[in-house]
């Protein structure tokens, strides 16, 4: 049976802070006006630049703001059965954890009402206020009964390396609800995006995100997150993945020499990554020659790591040619749907149940932990 594709990275765009007003409590609704709070969007994606969204996917309204338009452009051409909405509105930016928590809750409620309620194919990530891991965990617990939320969403650049123990309450709550943790390119701008200081240009910022993903991968492994949470899966989103083989060669080589300092890392890092980390497909930082791309996949050493994504409506992805033509049929099928079903227990439950979204609060008994699905 051919499974309908599952798009693991689409971007609904909040039209503006005013759109969250109906989902904020009276205090915060008043505060946004009284303080003259402006948009929380980070500058990591230049929304006003002509190339922010693909020209052929420009909606009459701002790209990504209309669920029907996004479905027509990003889901229908692929016959996509399910798509995960990753809203990148910058709730992580305010230094106030109270404001961050209020905005995160409002954003998640907005996604549920304005997107998930409008198209049965939409699923979403829970955006969490990382200013406070405890409040982030509370937000996961609040949303988890709505099984259309299938993942927890964090940014590749936050206030500290993501393996640090301070983040573990988030992982504990995600693990409790069998929710993978997605890490998307982006920043709360507590630190420079490069390891050597602030760059001048967006091209530097965007290219440097791969450094951040490498550092986060090293942090998650070295700090023992995978050992502490044996069922937890991480999904690197819009991270690129052609850098992965060289990074794993280097990290695994030095693990062999230095493993005495991290005794909880009991397996070679490359093995841990193959078992517990997934990567969205687009945008691909791929070489021109398809033979070289296939060799990169060979170096990665598994056909289970990549998850289909369009990254709609951003401009970097390859439109309807999102799956490289050189991918063999069996690999394409894995990437289009099978890998996502192994990664996201709630998507697997949906597909088994005929793709209809379960009602909020549905019994979680059928859920398998990610560790049990592969
Ligand atoms: Zn993305």
Closest C-alpha among 272, 278, 273 to residue 338: 278
DSSP string of 285-331? Answer: ---S-HHHHHHHHHHHT-SSSEE----TTBTTS-GGG-S-TTS-HHH
Whether residue 146 is predicted with pLDDT greater than 70 in this model: the reply is yes
**137 CA → ligand 1 middle, Å:** 23
**Ligand 1 mean position, distance from CA 285 (Å):** 14
Cβ atoms of 100 and 36 within 8 Å: the answer is no
Most confident among 170-179, 309-318, 345-354 (mean pLDDT): 170-179
- Report the separation in Å between the CA atom of 102 and the middle of ligand 1, taken as the mean of its atom positions: 23
- Look at residue 34 in the predicted model and tell me its pLDDT: 84
Is residue 114 over pLDDT 90?
Answer: yes
Check pLDDT > 60 for residue 5.
yes
CA distance 202 to 239: 16
Answer whether residue 334 shows pLDDT above 90.
Answer: yes
What is the CA(215)–ligand 1 centre distance, in A?
Answer: 19
The lowest-confidence range among 8-12, 58-62, 341-345 is: 58-62
User: Residue 354's pLDDT band (boundaries 50, 70, 90)?
Assistant: confident
Q: DSSP letter for 372, please.
A: G
* Rounded CA separation 133/374 (Å): 29
Q: pLDDT tens digits for 46-74?
A: 666 666 676 666 665 666 788 898 898 88
In CATH, what number does 6-352 get? Answer: 3.20.20.140
User: What's the confidence (pLDDT) of residue 372?
Assistant: 34
**CA 319 to centroid of ligand 1, rounded, Å:** 14
pLDDT above 50 (res 368): no
**pLDDT-derived band at 125, boundaries 50, 70, 90:** very high
Calculate how far, in angstroms, residue 358's C-alpha sits from the geometric centre of ligand 1: 26
The reported pLDDT for the residue numbered 160 is 96
- Give the least confident one: 23-37, 144-158, 299-313: 23-37
Q: Is the pLDDT of residue 227 over 70?
A: yes
- pLDDT, tens only, 155-193: 999 999 999 999 999 999 999 999 999 999 999 999 998
| Distance between Cα 281 and ligand 1 center (Å) | 10
**Cβ pair 133, 168 in contact under 8 A:** yes
| DSSP strands (E only) in 31-117 | 82-85
pLDDT at 310: 92
Q: Judge whether residue 361 has pLDDT over 60.
A: no
CA of 360 to the centre of ligand 1 (A): 26
Q: What predicted TM-score, i.e. pTM, was given to this entire model? A: 0.90
pLDDT at 362: 44
pLDDT at 355: 57
Q: Which residues surround ligand 1, an ion (CB under 5 A)?
A: 9, 238, 311
Token pair listed for 116: 């998930």
Confidence of residue 35 (pLDDT cuts 50, 70, 90): confident
Centre of ligand 1 from the C-alpha of residue 33, in Å: 30
Mean pLDDT (the chain) is 89
Contact between residue 17 and residue 40 where contact means Cβ atoms under 8 Å apart? yes
Q: Is the pLDDT confidence value at 322 over 90?
A: no
Q: 85: CA distance to ligand 1 center in Å?
A: 9
pLDDT at 285: 87
- Strand duo 6-10 + 234-237: pairing: unpaired
Q: Do 131 and 101 touch, CB atoms closer than 8 A?
A: yes
Q: How many CA atoms lie within 13 A of 334 on its CB side?
A: 13
More confident residue, 206 or 361: 206
CA of 12 to the centre of ligand 1 (A): 10
Give the position of tokens 């500290």.
Answer: 160
Q: 110 is written with which tokens?
A: 């907005």
- 6/147 Cα distance (integer angstroms): 16
Distance from residue 286's CA to the centre of ligand 1 (Å):
17
Q: In whole angstroms, how large is the CA radius of gyration of the chain? A: 20
pLDDT at 374 over 50: no
Determine the pLDDT at residue 49: 67
Of 207 and 41, the structure prediction assigns the larger pLDDT to 207
Task: State percent of the chain over pLDDT 70.
Answer: 87
Q: Measuring CA to CA, which residue among 328, 270, 267 is closest to residue 302?
A: 270
Number of H helices, E strands in the chain: 13, 8
β-bridge pairing 277-280 and 122-127: unpaired
191, 197, 201, 202 alpha-carbon torsion, rounded to 10°: -40
Ligand 1 mean position, distance from CA 288 (Å):
22
CA of residue 253 to ligand 1 center, whole Å: 31
pLDDT for residue 132 is more than 50: yes
């Amino acid at each position: 049976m051919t499974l309908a594709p599952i798009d693991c990275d689409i971007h609904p765009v909040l039209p503006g802070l005013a759109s969250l007003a109906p989902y904020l409590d009276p205090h915060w609704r008043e505060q946004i006006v009284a303080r003259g709070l402006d948009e929380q969007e980070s500058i990591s994606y230049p929304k006003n630049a002509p190339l922010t969204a693909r020209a052929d996917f420009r909606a009459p309204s701002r790209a990504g703001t209309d669920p029907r338009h996004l479905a027509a452009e990003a889901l229908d051409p692929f016959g996509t059965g399910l798509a995960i909405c990753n809203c990148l509105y910058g709730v992580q930016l305010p230094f106030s954890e109270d404001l961050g928590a209020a905005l995160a809750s409002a954003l998640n409620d907005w996604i549920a009402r304005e997107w998930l309620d409008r198209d049965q194919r939409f699923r979403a990530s829970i955006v969490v206020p990382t200013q406070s891991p405890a409040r982030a965990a509370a937000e996961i617990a609040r949303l988890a009964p709505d099984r259309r939320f299938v993942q927890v969403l964090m940014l590749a650049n936050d206030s500290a390396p993501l393996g640090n123990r301070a983040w573990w309450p988030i992982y504990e709550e995600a693990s409790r609800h069998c929710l993978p943790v997605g890490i998307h390119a982006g920043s709360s701008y507590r630190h420079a995006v490069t390891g050597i200081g602030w760059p001048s240009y967006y091209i530097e910022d965007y290219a440097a995100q791969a450094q951040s993903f490498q550092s986060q991968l090293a942090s998650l492994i070295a700090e023992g997150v995978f050992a502490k949470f044996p069922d937890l899966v991480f999904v690197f989103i819009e991270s690129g993945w052609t850098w992965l083989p060289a990074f794993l060669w280097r990290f695994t080589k030095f693990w062999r020499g230095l493993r005495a300092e991290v005794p909880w890392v009991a397996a070679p890092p490359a093995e841990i990554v193959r078992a517990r980390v997934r990567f969205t497909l687009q945008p691909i930082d791929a070489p021109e020659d398809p033979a070289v791309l296939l060799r990169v996949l060979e170096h990665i050493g598994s056909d289970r790591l990549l998850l289909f994504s369009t990254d709609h409506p951003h401009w970097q992805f390859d439109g309807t040619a999102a799956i490289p033509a050189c991918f063999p049929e069996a690999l394409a099928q894995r990437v289009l749907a099978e890998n996502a079903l192994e990664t996201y227990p709630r998507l697997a439950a949906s597909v088994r149940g005929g793709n209809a979204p379960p009602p909020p609060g549905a019994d979680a008994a059928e859920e398998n932990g990610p560790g049990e699905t592969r």
